[in-house]
Amino acid sequence: MTLTIGVDIGGTKILAGVVDETGKILDSVKVSTPENSDLTADAIAEAVRKVRADYEIGAVGLGAAGFIDADRATVLFAPNVSWVNEPLKTRIEERIGLPVVVENDANAAAWGEAKFGAAAGHDDVVVITVGTGIGGGLILGGSLYRGRFGIGGEPGHYRVVPDGRPCGCGNRGCFEQYASGNALVRAARERAAAAPGRAKELLGLGDGTVEGIQGSHVTEAARNDDVIALAAFNEIADWLGQGMSDIAALLDPSAFVLAGGVSEAGDLLRAPAAEAYRRKLAGQGHRPYAQVLTATLGPDAGLIGAADLARV
């Protein structure tokens, strides 16, 4: 059995793990991400060295946020680590003497969920990562789809509302402005501001102000059947359903996986999103519906996926 190492390079920590062919993590270590990005390659190499000591390792897969070129070698742009055209593959190979591939972290996590997690057994999978923004990944015909330039599979910035809410990317009306964790908080705050009398429970979970409402409060209140929190979940779930039905018109997957921090709310998000997807799907009633699933690997998905992608 060939073992590989997956590395998840985050803004604050670097997680490296030895993974077997079934997606099981045998061992892992965590190191801090250096403040100085010139030192990040050394920190990655250190993490790999620590975790590989007792194992025979075939290759290393790195998952990094940002635009990764289609050759899986260079980070074109990484907002969190301030890399521009960083030849990460070469830098790490020089330091550790093993073959290295670099993948976008969301693509790596999507691969992990599609192969070993929620969508195991499916060949056509769309993963939608619902965090502060929206990320994702596409598995088409059993392969990770990266696009010609390596930047494909990013549903967060396709436009759903012409001249809609402004987005950090410079455009307006992007999907992530309506269906992300930030959109969930915004929906809850708007409702709490409009009807503070009905928002007592939700406000009580924070500092009592509308601005003090955080995503975790909305999830906790929704679990207790708070009407404002449930309405906020239903609002973003409706947008997610819209997005999935539009994606289905183009790609016709057999499964959608909802991943990321907001998906930890489970059926509070998944059930209304699945219902909205079925309601909005073009040709509904005359075609099979895709399954709408909640991610199962949690924060390990990126590491597991990067390790497996190092094999292929």
Contact between 151 and Zn ion by CB under 5 A: the answer reads no
Q: How far is the CB of 158 from Zn ion (least distance, A)?
A: 9
CA atoms of 305 and 116, how far apart (whole Å): 9
Spell out the long-range contacts of 268-272 with Cβ–Cβ below 8 A and sequence spacing 24 or more: 268/219, 268/222, 268/223, 268/230, 268/233, 269/130, 269/233, 269/236, 269/237, 269/240, 269/294, 270/294, 271/237, 272/233, 272/234, 272/237, 272/238, 272/241
Contact stretch for Zn ion (CB under 5 A) within 29-37, 60-68, 152-160, 280-288: 152-160
> Locate tokens 């390790």: which residue?
307
Residue in 6, 72, 14 with CA at minimum distance from that of residue 41? 14
Tokens linked to 259:
């991943």
**Binds Zn ion (CB under 5 A): choice among 119, 144, 160, 174:** 174
- d(Cα 112, Cα 305) in Å, to the nearest integer? 4
Of 79 and 208, nearer to Zn ion (C-beta) is: 79
Residue (157 or 198) nearer to Zn ion, CB: 157
Span of 20-28, 157-165, 238-246, 300-308 interacting with Zn ion by CB under 5 A: 157-165
Q: How far is the CB of 175 from Zn ion (least distance, A)?
A: 8
Q: Are 86 and 114 in contact (CB under 8 A)?
A: no
Residue 161 interacts with Zn ion (CB under 5 A)?
no
> Among candidates 125, 121, 132, 127, which has minimal Cα distance to 104?
127
Nearer to Zn ion, 184 or 213 (CB): 184
Q: How far is the CB of 181 from Zn ion (least distance, A)?
A: 15
- Residue found under tokens 């999507």: 110
Cβ proximity to Zn ion, 169 vs 312, nearer residue: 169
* Residue 157 binds Zn ion, judged by CB under 5 A: yes
CB 274 within 8 A of CB 290: no
Is 159 a binder of Zn ion (CB under 5 A)? no
Is residue 169 a contact point for Zn ion (CB under 5 A)?
A: yes
Choose the binding region for Zn ion from 91-99, 153-161, 191-199, 239-247 (rule: CB under 5 A): 153-161
Residue 167 interacts with Zn ion (CB under 5 A)? yes
Return the number of the residue (175 or 256) whose C-beta is nearest Zn ion: 175
The contact set with Zn ion (CB under 5 A) reads 157, 167, 169, 171, 174
